[in-house]
Structure 1
């Protein structure tokens, strides 16, 4: 019952919190060709699992944006406990209002409608060559550079990779 309530959308929420399975996180970061020192933004970062893997396994600087105060606090505490406070930063706020101009990679596990709202922001703020990686929900009207599939517990997860500027 608690999990159901946590995953319901409120008027301020842009997507429910549904954790991305670890094998999918790894494939997303590999598909993005994330390099050491690059800056990754995870919009709607939830528990921060993409941030931690980006920092630990790929040597990236990772910034998460999350509406939930509780998840922001938990993720920040975990970053400190892991000694990653210089590599992982979590911003409490609306993902449609954050400045992402320094991003090399942006990861998304949102819904189609939220991706649609993000399109003009991504186009305006991301520099040429930046990558957008979306889990399960394509960005309508953009042609992905690549599409990857990962099966976790016999369920297919689709990863869409876009390079800026997007091919429309």
Structure 2
């Protein structure tokens, strides 16, 4: 440690741990800032990671609700990809759509770092959630803000096949009735 309390290496630079921490902090803040334009236009949500408790609740509810073979999972606004990777454990194909270029690049990097196991079972697209094709999807996950949920609900009703499930983290879809009791702030809906 130096006299001012900053951890430095013998060569005078910052230690690798401090450098990594500062780098991660910088990238996270850039990613958050890059997610604001869609929010300001009323077309998206800021980057907010799905915490482990909510992720576990989502998949617990899905296990109870999915009555057929689990094929294709889509996360609209996939952020850092953690939900896509979690879904890849259960679904044949897990897809993330993300409009933030920093988060898209991060997710793609994670896909390759995690190894071949995820190369066939995951996909990430740098694409706006409003243009994502949902015609052959079994489950859609969304962590949107209240102001977009009505319009997003209309898109889902138009595009999802009958019997598909929608799992929403925190924000409910106006006018929709969940198929069971919401758990840990997650709501599951079945398309008719």
TM over 0.5: yes
Aligned partners of 1:12, 1:67: CA distance in 2, in Å? 14
Aligned partners of 2:52, 2:122: CA distance in 1, in Å? 18
Aligned partners of 1:60, 1:24: CA distance in 2, in Å? 22
Whether 1:161 aligns to 2:188 is yes
Larger mean Cα displacement after TM superposition, 42-51 or 112-121 = 112-121
* 1:64 equivalent among 93, 96, 101: 96
Structure 2 stretches of 5 or more lacking a match? 1-24
The count of residues paired between Structure 1 and Structure 2 equals 157
| TM-score, length of structure 2 as denominator length | 0.74
Point out the structure with max Rg over C-alpha.
Answer: 2
Whose helix proportion is higher, 1 or 2? 2
Whether 1:46 aligns to 2:79 is yes
* Aligned-pair CA distance for 1:147: 2.9
| TM-score, length of structure 1 as denominator length | 0.84
Whether 1:32 aligns to 2:62 is yes
Aligned partners of 1:119, 1:13: CA distance in 2, in Å? 13
What SS is found at the alignment partner of 2:46? Answer: coil
Whose strand proportion is higher, 1 or 2? 1
Whether 1:73 aligns to 2:105 is yes
What SS is found at the alignment partner of 1:71? Answer: helix
* Aligned-pair CA distance for 1:44: 0.4
Name the counterpart of 1:21.
51
What SS is found at the alignment partner of 1:149? Answer: coil
Superposed CA RMSD: 2.2
